[in-house]
Structure 1
Amino acid sequence: MAGRVAGKVALITGAARGQGRAEAIRLAQEGADVIAVDIAGPLPSVSYPSPTPADLDETVRLVEKTGRRARAVQADVRDLAALRAGVEPAVAELGGLDIIVANAGICVPRPWDEVTEQIFDDTLGVNVRGVWNTVMAGAGHLVERGGGSIILISSAAGLKVQPFLLPYTTSKWAVRGMAKAFATELARHHIRVNSVHPTGVNTPMAGETLGAAFAKGFEGDPRLAGMLTNLLPVTITEPEDVADTVLFLASDESKYVTAHELAPDAGVTEF
């Protein structure tokens, strides 16, 4: 079915690469114009490579290749003023806003007693405050539009405990609750709010650094290794798999789905 979000405008954070880029391309393929937001610079606390302005430009190019319009916004989601300053002119230029995908996030795996104050603050700053900022920067436009869909990207770690991810797990449970809270108050404006809970996704976040951190943790407590096992016989999913879920929630196919958790998690939360 082509054109499932035809004529709509989507705001996507963390869009320079990986999951955010896949979401931007998938929505564009189905007819949406895209506001692609990313820090496109150093990420706090993480050891995996940070996105670059060239990455963000490539996302714009790939969206435009589908025939849709794209606008890049280089901003840190932790900075509400900067986010609004970038989003407002893009919304005006594209003629409104219908879809918000709060995708930006970081992950810093550590055993509990190696988590620093900086890691904890950075993780909650990006993954919780950044998600709130994203909704606050865009939800008013959906109210003006008379409805829309807000999609908050959480994690399987927002449905069940996962080891060596204390700040990350804390943040993703908060995102799950935030989706329900926003859904409650925005429902009267015909705005749906849902959270998405993937298993491991093949992005820079899930690279060698993450694997090495888990391996080190499991050496100290091997009993916990099974907590990351998918029920389906796959070790990792692709960004496009999550993008398909986002498309469903952005489209009218999910017009009565709100305050819900959708989990493309390969069954990992069933263990």
Structure 2
Amino acid sequence: MSTMTGLLEGKVALITGAARGQGRSHALKMAEQGASILALDVCRRVSTAVYDPATPEDLAETHSLVEKAGGKIVTGEIDVRDLGALTEFVRSGAAELGGLDIVVANAGVNVWGGLLDAGDEDPWDDTIGINLTGVYNTLRAAAPLMIKNGQGGSIIITSSATGLKALPGMIAYAASKYGVTGLMKAAAIELGQHEIRVNSVHPWAVNTPMGGMHPFGESILGANPSFVDSFKQVLHDPPLAEASDISDAVLFLASPLARTITGVALPVDQGNTIV
């Protein structure tokens, strides 16, 4: 019978986008529950997103915090669009830490821009490349190792409330996150024969550099009042989720507590997708 202490004892977890925000929170939560961590982040600007990107210093801080929590950790500055570099990092890191049991495909960008807003700096290619192709590459790099280990495992993909209910003003982001939801369901069917569970989490607004409202987003909503209804939520305390709220859901899906759950798109969204 599982307990809430040491749920991931002896497991190895790969987490992308781990330098800060949700990725760092997931790494710490899993390390506290006994997992060793493979943590990667690109640590430079790779899109037209208006918020500052994570830095090498952020990733180093994640490394330090995981070690302080008593966990083993291997880090790397990797772009999830680079399948070769990603595959080599996962292979070598898994060999160093003793396997691979859990994958959290979390790396992503949030770029505001509607269908009619695209100009010379159209965010489409970067957003789809990082948010969707990057998740596909992560699964391609990790799943063969998990199958070879023969112990099953759990894959959790970070989608978004926007992957269940399209939001105006961020059309590339919505397309990428809907794509991630479909990828999750197809992968759950394909990998189930290997006892690998695949699920996704769908946050709403989260208190991270990426997750809050930005001036360009506010200007889009101001110019298009009909868009505002799409951004309502049922729960307002707190008005923004914390990264740890999402980590609790990720931990559940990674753990034996969710051993019969696969192919599920789990909203962690303060009720945004039901209004």
The TM-score with structure 2 as length reference comes to: 0.95
Return the letter of the residue paired with 2:126.
D
Indicate which of 1, 14, 18 corresponds to 2:17.
14
Aligned to 2:126: 122
1:19-75 deviations in Å (ceiling 9; x for gaps): 000000001110100000100122222221111111101101111111110000110
> What is the DSSP-based 3-state SS (H/G/I as helix, E as strand, rest coil) of the residue aligned with 2:59?
helix
Return the letter of the residue paired with 2:214.
G
Indicate which of 19, 32, 37 corresponds to 2:35.
32
| 1:236 aligned onto 2:240 | yes
| 1:202 aligned onto 2:213 | no
Indicate which of 208, 214, 219 corresponds to 2:217.
214
Aligned to 2:186: 181
Indicate which of 75, 85, 93 corresponds to 1:72.
75
Aligned to 1:150: 155
CA contact (8 A) 1:154 1:198 kept: yes
Question: C-alpha distance in 2, partners of 1:249/1:213?
Answer: 34
Provide the aligned length of Structure 1 versus Structure 2: 269
CA contact (8 A) 1:15 1:38 kept: yes
1:130-186 deviations in Å (ceiling 9; x for gaps): 000111111111112220000110000000011101000000000000000101110
Question: C-alpha distance in 1, partners of 2:61/2:95?
Answer: 23
Return the letter of the residue paired with 2:179.
A
CA contact (8 A) 1:123 1:168 kept: yes
CA contact (8 A) 1:12 1:37 kept: yes
1:193-218 deviations in Å (ceiling 9; x for gaps): 001100111111134xx432222112
Give structure 1 regions of 4+ aligned residues with deviation exceeding 4 angstroms: none
My pick for the range that moved more, 141-150 or 24-33, is 141-150
| 1:136 aligned onto 2:146 | no
| 1:268 aligned onto 2:272 | yes
Aligned to 2:45: 42
Alignment of 1:245-260 (within 5 A): 245-260=249-264
Unaligned runs of 5+ in 1: none
Indicate which of 47, 59, 63 corresponds to 1:60.
63
Aligned to 1:86: 89
> What is the DSSP-based 3-state SS (H/G/I as helix, E as strand, rest coil) of the residue aligned with 2:116?
helix
CA contact (8 A) 2:201 2:265 kept: yes
Aligned to 2:198: 193
Query: How much has 1:106 moved relative to structure 2?
Result: 0.4
The TM-score with structure 1 as length reference comes to: 0.97
1:82-113 deviations in Å (ceiling 9; x for gaps): 11122211110001000000000001101321
Return the letter of the residue paired with 1:241.
D
> What is the DSSP-based 3-state SS (H/G/I as helix, E as strand, rest coil) of the residue aligned with 2:214?
helix
Aligned to 1:159: 164
Question: C-alpha distance in 1, partners of 2:13/2:198?
Answer: 14
Q: CA RMSD in A?
A: 1.1
Alignment of 1:89-100 (within 5 A): 89-100=92-103
Aligned to 2:5: 2
> What is the DSSP-based 3-state SS (H/G/I as helix, E as strand, rest coil) of the residue aligned with 1:43?
coil
> What is the DSSP-based 3-state SS (H/G/I as helix, E as strand, rest coil) of the residue aligned with 1:197?
strand
Query: How much has 1:76 moved relative to structure 2?
Result: 0.2
Question: C-alpha distance in 2, partners of 1:46/1:224?
Answer: 20
Question: C-alpha distance in 1, partners of 2:90/2:136?
Answer: 15
Q: Which has the higher helix share?
A: 1
Percent identity of paired positions between Structure 1 and Structure 2: 46
Query: How much has 1:269 moved relative to structure 2?
Result: 0.4
Return the letter of the residue paired with 2:158.
I
Unaligned runs of 5+ in 2: none
Question: C-alpha distance in 2, partners of 1:184/1:118?
Answer: 34
Question: C-alpha distance in 2, partners of 1:164/1:15?
Answer: 27
